[in-house]
Amino acid sequence: MTPALTVRPLWQRFLVFLLPLMLANILQSLSGTINNIYVGQLIGVEGLAAVSVFFPITIFLISFVIGISAGATVLIGQAWGAGNIDRVKEVVGTTLTMAFLGGLVVAVIGIFFTPAVIRLLGAPDNILDSAVQYGRIMLIGMPALFVFVISTSVLRGVGDTVTPLIALLLSIAVGLVVTPALIQGWLGLPALGVRAAAVATIAGFLCVLVFLFIYMRARRHPLAPDAVLLRNLRIKLPILLLVMRIGIPSAVQTVVTSVAAIVIVGLVNRFGSDATAAYGAVNQVLNYVQFPAMSIAIAASIFSAQAIGAGQAHLLGAITRTALISNLVLTGSLAALAYAFSRHVIELFITDPQVVDLAQRLLHIVLWSVVLFGASATLAGVMRASGTVLVPMLFAMISIVLIELPVAILLSRTSLGLEGIWWGYVAAFLSVLLMNAVYYQRIWKKKSISALI
């Protein structure tokens, strides 16, 4: 039996696993914020705009890799639960190889086609050259980024959230030092301007990969690079197909969510710059409130996969209840704090009193529904651990394409105006929770659950 399923009460083990995962998600977001502050303060508005132009491509690529890593994590969790470390390394080897090769393909595209991609994104002429320089370096560095994302994900599959947290802290530390040094040309380094942000990002990932190699071997970590893992650094088609079967629906769902966000931004922009500023501030707050919800869903999926692998499917109900209660307590408490101090929080991003009032109204509409989002993500994560991915993906797409967007569009044209867009979010979170809950209770719980690998 895996250590993740023994000894301490379930809620204690869940929290021990969850807290470093939550902190890592928060730090990941902070690292991007800090990077943008450096660029904006040391280079200026045009530098920040050049970096921002490439942001949709970064989100798309990372979202897809995270989706694929979700498939690998389920299989690793099941194999780890069964105590089959050799099988774990087969999945890790195949997934890392696939990630590296995929990154190489993106890098080649970056070498030759970055200008065309940046023009397709509609970059203004005054920042076109800077955006191309930044984008090309980011694309060339994608092999390192892809391997970094997969490496931290597979560690969580064997119940380790501390090592990924340490790795992320190192990556952030490198960025904090290297980014301003390369922007300003400190210590005799070349002054790279906007390219510094991309170089520092990739340097951080490379440093982390070197650190993980040394640290995990020194700690004799179960996934430390050894002869067995190195032999498995190749594509094994049956494992690859299983990873893709679980991972691609998750990736597609994430990409659809990103595209929907672009549509929502377009709706918001019609109400003027104040509305756009309020939208940005509210999203900043929502992102941090959502971190516990997303982390709990990941933890629920991994714990469930380990239980299935260990032949203890009877624990799935207890894992689901623990995750749902954790979401209610942690996400709910954070949402309550955000309500209580909403004006102070929004004033961290906005100073105009009228825009602060607007953002506060919008935040009050949607904030409570993040708890619904967390509950839905938890149910989807538990079901994903058994290989059930298409139905939750379908529910998510229905809630976005057929509920969120139509409701946002229609209500924004009524007397509700801008507020109607935020009721679209509420409608989507509520509907996807109802769909997942009914399917989980009426159909999925009655299925015979067995390991996929």
pLDDT of 118 higher than 50: yes
Q: Which amino acid is at 20?
A: P
Q: Say which range, 63-67, 217-221, 242-246, has the weakest mean pLDDT.
A: 63-67
Q: Say which range, 218-222, 285-289, 409-413, has the weakest mean pLDDT.
A: 285-289
Cα 250 to chain centroid, rounded: 11
pLDDT of 218 higher than 90: yes
pLDDT of 246 higher than 80: yes
pLDDT for 1: 39
Quickly list DSSP for 75-92: HHHHHHHTT-HHHHHHHH
The most confident of 107-111, 198-202, 304-308, by mean pLDDT: 304-308
pLDDT of 3 higher than 60: no
Integer angstrom CA distances of residue 442 from 204, 348, 445:
47, 45, 7
Global confidence as pTM: 0.88
Tell which wins on pLDDT, 443 or 277. 443
pLDDT for 317: 96
- Say if residues 296 and 101 touch (Cβ distance below 8 Å): no
- Say if residues 276 and 355 touch (Cβ distance below 8 Å): no
CA gap 309, 74 in Å, rounded: 10
Tell which wins on pLDDT, 371 or 58. 371
CA gap 315, 14 in Å, rounded: 13
Q: Which secondary structure element, helix H or strand E, spans residue 56, and what is its range?
A: helix 55-81
What interhelical angle do 128-140 and 55-81 show, nearest 10? 20
CA gap 214, 217 in Å, rounded: 5
pLDDT of 19 higher than 70: yes
Encoding tokens for residue 449?
């659950």
pLDDT in tens, 310-322: 999 999 999 999 9
Residue length of the chain: 453
Residue bearing tokens 């209660």: 325
Encoding tokens for residue 83?
């105590």
CA gap 135, 209 in Å, rounded: 22
229: number of Cβ within 10 Å: 18
pLDDT for 5: 46
pLDDT of 6 higher than 70: no
Tell which wins on pLDDT, 257 or 224. 224
CA gap 397, 254 in Å, rounded: 10
Burial 418-449 (b: 16+ CB within 10 A, else e): bbbbbbbbbbbbbbbbebbeebbeeebeeeeb
Mean pLDDT over the full length of the chain? 89
CA gap 442, 447 in Å, rounded: 10
Q: Say which range, 5-9, 22-26, 217-221, 360-364, has the weakest mean pLDDT.
A: 5-9
pLDDT for 55: 73
- Say if residues 37 and 197 touch (Cβ distance below 8 Å): no
pLDDT in tens, 147-163: 999 999 999 999 999 99
108 — phi, psi (to 5°)? -65, -45
pLDDT of 47 higher than 90: no
Encoding tokens for residue 253?
């769902």
* CA torsion, ordered 50, 64, 303, 235, to nearest 10 deg: -130
Q: Is 192 helix (H, G, I), strand (E, B) or coil?
A: coil
pLDDT of 25 higher than 90: no
Contacts of 326 (CB under 8 A, 6+ apart): 11, 14, 15, 18, 292, 296
Q: pLDDT tier at 7 (50, 70, 90 boundaries)?
A: low
Q: Which secondary structure element, helix H or strand E, spans residue 187, and what is its range?
A: none
How large is the C-alpha radius of gyration of the chain?
22
Mean pLDDT, residues 292-296 taken together: 93
CA gap 213, 171 in Å, rounded: 14
pLDDT for 183: 86
User: Which residue, among 167, 432, 425, has the nearest Cα to 297 in the 3D structure?
Assistant: 432
User: Which residue, among 372, 377, 340, 448, has the nearest Cα to 70 in the 3D structure?
Assistant: 377
CA gap 88, 295 in Å, rounded: 22
Percent of the chain residues past pLDDT 90, beyond the cut: 60
344: number of Cβ within 10 Å: 9
